[in-house]
Structure 1
């Protein structure tokens, strides 16, 4: 039978214990890397059926437009050419899956920011190649520039719920492909120390960009700490390879650059409109990318980035938000994880142009679905708008809050003797009659609750007295404050000078 503790001595001992529990937290209550996998839109039998159809497509239909160097390697592993297509046997696909790492590290330039990806760990990051920016001053869209890219890079550097950064806008003021690739990498180098990703237009751009990185960090530094990941799409839907992208893939393999091989088919256009058929074809295409890497370097760190994209079948317009794209990316994450591969999917690709109710609804639904499904790397999850045509400084800040809420949801409820808190309940009932200010309450406040920076939790009268600000207004003001701060100092003066003497750097050029 439970007894009600009443002695002052025992009461004091409990207070001391509760005081220990109330010590400041050692981790973020919404720390990235929470465990997903609770949402499974597919049954085990359905995963097997999708996988079996993907294997059948690769072995029966095969892949088109396979570059000769790639086919030469694939033939040594059992692939065969029939007409103008290359058939990939199931045994080769299964060998590639078996050799692929189930987890690996994405390094930060600052090693403390390195993340481990794989299993059911969930990390939200960025992506995209928007060509427009929602201007902070005018509130309208305009072409994106190199300065915008750098500003986005340094803005996100301080966002605790973004695990890595992929260039989110195209520097449209760069006049040629080499200037674009070079200056994009430079903006990442200068603006952040977390893991980053970029793309290379041509294979010959890879080596000099790694040279630039090693001017900053020392000869051989990238081999020891490969903190840039390459985004590559070796496969073009439906079911064929792209020669230039395969060449870039081979150059990245040569330089030890981790890769995210991305399939981004569109329903009813470059892939079936039926969700199951789409998932089967898209899985086959991403498996073809895995095989392409495997025949050169078995076990190479590759993110299996199978991103289902949706179009509005009435108009043909890309739809970044909605139930279909949410469930398909969740299903893609589930199948990839089921195969034991490091999964990459996408979310938050809202069609909204303004930071409004549509913006929040579409981002929240898709990001939550991908997180609950256990997507290891969830791209596009911060900053994007206008069906990936635009990026917004305000959106980065608001999305960071959204991602904190999702990480907190994934963390779930910890149930143990301390959190059940029998003694604390007894003390509150027999003492003050409430839990406000109690030691357990104070401890939970620090450890268990997430407090968003831009949500309004004031009473209506207080909100009105403050001028009725909305989330966009609050985020816009904070973005201006961040961008008014000086250069973060991630690139020292001597290294910057050496890079500018060797390369044509446009950022900050006079």
Structure 2
């Protein structure tokens, strides 16, 4: 057989290059969305129980301050007590009841069903995060304020990246100084740029109301939106340590009543707004998120809520946040253990 005949039978070098460059079939890919993790466990089973019991003690005896009136109206019939100092106390039995009715094994939907996520158990999904106000310009290399085009462009990138499974709003469009325009357009830019699940936040419930109406139109009606909500709310409903955030709580209520999944974020900073000891910081963030979970279930029992312990650590030399520190990794792994302990999406 001549060399040209051999080349023809194999399809030629171009065909072989195309074959090598082609994506693998889903059933033979070495890495897929939702692969299981959880091998690293900084806490023993006994230590997990200690963290849990300490968090319940904090909620029962210290509670959270600055609850808005509608929060109190929802939680006191649910079993909370208001202390003489005006702090909302969460009895142990209330938290145990909350955990018994909390949503489990709920899907986080994409606009395209092929991007639906099932984030329960030890499954792992990767996504973006943050709310950066500056960005390195991809053309000039200069550091500048982030704008709307950046938010859309990053969403488009995420949409094409195989191993990024959801788009959490990454930048703030600072070309939109009006807060309402910024909130609504951030949501619009995100869902326009990707058909994967989107997470973003709002600073006022009216902005979220307007966004929900827009999402109903995109979904094809409110009923279709409620059946497959493809946007979740990232909500920092607490100001650590142990205080409710007024506007965030109002937005939380709007999201829950609007059928939008909520990511309950507690973002204490060990050594600043949380205890410097890592175990103490973990107790505080677990307590805060459990309080948020009770809040959500008092509003709508079984509403999809994500256990969002978001650990940060201070550089004690300067007081600044030490992003990416070893301590933060340990706290994050321990937080994942606590979510597994409660069998909650985290």
State whether TM-score is above 0.5. yes
The CA distance in 2 between the partners of 1:49 and 1:170, in whole Å, is 39
Query: Following TM superposition, by how much is the alpha carbon of 1:215 offset from its aligned partner in structure 2, in angstroms?
Result: 2.7
The CA distance in 2 between the partners of 1:24 and 1:87, in whole Å, is 53
Range 70-79 or range 175-184, more displaced: 70-79
The CA distance in 2 between the partners of 1:24 and 1:161, in whole Å, is 15
- The structure that has the greater radius of gyration is 1
Instruction: Check if 1:312 corresponds to 2:315.
Output: yes
Instruction: Check if 1:50 corresponds to 2:83.
Output: no
Deviations 1:346-380 (A, max 9, x none): xxxxxxxxxxxxxxxxxxxxxxxxxxxxxxxxxxx
Structure 2 partner of 1:452: none
Instruction: Check if 1:238 corresponds to 2:241.
Output: yes
Contact kept? 1:157, 1:191, Cα under 8 Å: yes
The CA distance in 1 between the partners of 2:26 and 2:219, in whole Å, is 34
Matched position secondary structure for 1:93: helix
What runs of 5+ residues in structure 2 fail to find an aligned partner? 1-23
Instruction: Check if 1:262 corresponds to 2:262.
Output: no
Matched position secondary structure for 1:106: coil
Query: Following TM superposition, by how much is the alpha carbon of 1:171 offset from its aligned partner in structure 2, in angstroms?
Result: 0.4
Contact kept? 2:166, 2:197, Cα under 8 Å: yes
Tell me which of the two structures has the higher relative contact order, counting C-alpha pairs closer than 8 angstroms and 6 or more residues apart: 1
What runs of 5+ residues in structure 1 fail to find an aligned partner? 1-22, 344-510
Q: Pick one of 331, 334, 338 that aligns with 2:337.
A: 334
* Number of positions where the alignment pairs a residue of Structure 1 with one of Structure 2: 321
Q: How does 1:279-298 map to 2 (within 5 A)?
A: 279-298=282-301
Structure 2 partner of 1:394: none
Deviations 1:414-450 (A, max 9, x none): xxxxxxxxxxxxxxxxxxxxxxxxxxxxxxxxxxxxx
Q: Pick one of 203, 221, 230 that aligns with 2:205.
A: 203
Deviations 1:32-63 (A, max 9, x none): 20111111110011011111111011000111
Query: Following TM superposition, by how much is the alpha carbon of 1:216 offset from its aligned partner in structure 2, in angstroms?
Result: 3.0
Structure 1 runs of 4+ aligned residues shifted over 4 Å read none
The CA distance in 1 between the partners of 2:219 and 2:48, in whole Å, is 44
Matched position secondary structure for 1:182: helix
Contact kept? 1:80, 1:87, Cα under 8 Å: yes
Q: How does 1:80-229 map to 2 (within 5 A)?
A: 80-82=81-83, 83-220=85-222, 221-229=224-232
Matched position secondary structure for 2:43: coil
The CA distance in 1 between the partners of 2:120 and 2:327, in whole Å, is 25
Query: Following TM superposition, by how much is the alpha carbon of 1:81 offset from its aligned partner in structure 2, in angstroms?
Result: 1.1
Label 1:216 to 1:341 Cα distance change in 2 as closer, same or farther (>3 A).
closer
Contact kept? 1:102, 1:119, Cα under 8 Å: no
The CA distance in 1 between the partners of 2:208 and 2:338, in whole Å, is 32
Matched position secondary structure for 2:299: coil
Superposition RMSD in Å: 1.3
The CA distance in 2 between the partners of 1:217 and 1:97, in whole Å, is 31
Label 1:154 to 1:87 Cα distance change in 2 as closer, same or farther (>3 A).
same
Contact kept? 1:235, 1:288, Cα under 8 Å: no
TM-score for the superposition, normalised by structure 2: 0.90
Structure 1 partner of 2:7: none
Query: Following TM superposition, by how much is the alpha carbon of 1:69 offset from its aligned partner in structure 2, in angstroms?
Result: 1.2
Query: Following TM superposition, by how much is the alpha carbon of 1:24 offset from its aligned partner in structure 2, in angstroms?
Result: 5.7
